[in-house]
Amino acid sequence: MALVTAGVVVLDCAEPEKLAEFYRQLLDAEETEASANRVEIRGADGIRLALRRDVNATPPSWPRPENSLQTHLEFEVTDLDAAERRIVSLGGRPTETKDASGPFEERGYADPAGHSFILRTTTPTAPKQG
Helix, strand, coil share (%) of the chain residues, nearest 5 = 15, 30, 55
Q: Comparing C-alpha atoms, which of 44, 40, 3, 11 is closest to residue 115?
A: 11
> What's the pTM?
0.72
Report pLDDT for 77. 87
Question: Among 3.40.50.300, 3.10.180.10, 3.40.190.10, 3.20.20.70, what is the CATH number of 59-130?
Answer: 3.10.180.10
Rounded to an integer, what distance in angstroms lies between the CA atom of residue 91 and that of residue 19?
10
Report pLDDT for 99. 60
Rounded to an integer, what distance in angstroms lies between the CA atom of residue 44 and that of residue 31?
11
Domain boundaries, the chain: 8-56, 59-130
Would the pLDDT of 129 be above 70? Answer: no
Q: Classify 58 as helix, strand or coil.
A: coil
| CATH 3.30.720.120 matches 8-56 | yes
The mean per-residue pLDDT over the stretch 22-31 comes to 95
Report pLDDT for 101. 56
Report pLDDT for 120. 81
Q: What is the pLDDT of residues 55-101, one digit of tens each?
A: 888 777 666 666 555 567 888 888 888 999 999 999 999 987 666 55
